């Protein structure tokens, strides 16, 4: 997989935006957003930690991936945790 740094930066920003959707509801867990990309750097699934006690960002993203069978062939996951 050869995805340039601008693409990684774009999707890391998206993961941060997703993480912020859980602001004020995830404690004691951190804010987390996750994106799953295909081999071309295109988004195929995403998720975030909505609330303490609910599935975390990665689990939500992989659950969403199950709904997109064409994207399962080749992927790259990016995530961020914010204190």
42 is catalytic: no
- Cβ burial of 32 (10 Å; 0-12, 13-18, 19+) is buried
Q: Which of 29, 58, 62, 72 is catalytic?
A: 58
pTM of the model: 0.81
Q: Which domain holds residue 16?
A: 5-82
Q: pLDDT averaged over the chain?
A: 84
Residue-wise pLDDT for 2-30, tens only, equals 568 888 899 999 999 999 999 999 999 99
pLDDT, mean of residues 73-77: 60
Give how far the C-alpha of residue 64 lies from the chain's centroid of Cα atoms, to the nearest Å.
Answer: 10
Find the CATH number of the domain harbouring 63. Answer: 3.40.140.10
Per the structure, how many domains does the chain have? Answer: 1
Q: Is the pLDDT of residue 1 over 50?
A: no
pLDDT of residue 77: 58
């Amino acid at each position: 997989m050869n995805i340039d740094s601008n693409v990684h930066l774009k999707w890391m920003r998206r993961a941060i935006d997703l993480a912020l959707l859980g602001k004020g509801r995830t404690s004691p867990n951190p804010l987390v957003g996750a994106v799953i990309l295909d081999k071309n750097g295109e988004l195929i699934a995403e998720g975030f930690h909505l609330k303490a006690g609910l599935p975390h960002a990665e689990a939500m993203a992989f659950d969403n991936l199950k709904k997109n069978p064409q994207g399962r062939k080749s992927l790259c996951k990016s995530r961020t945790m914010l204190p």
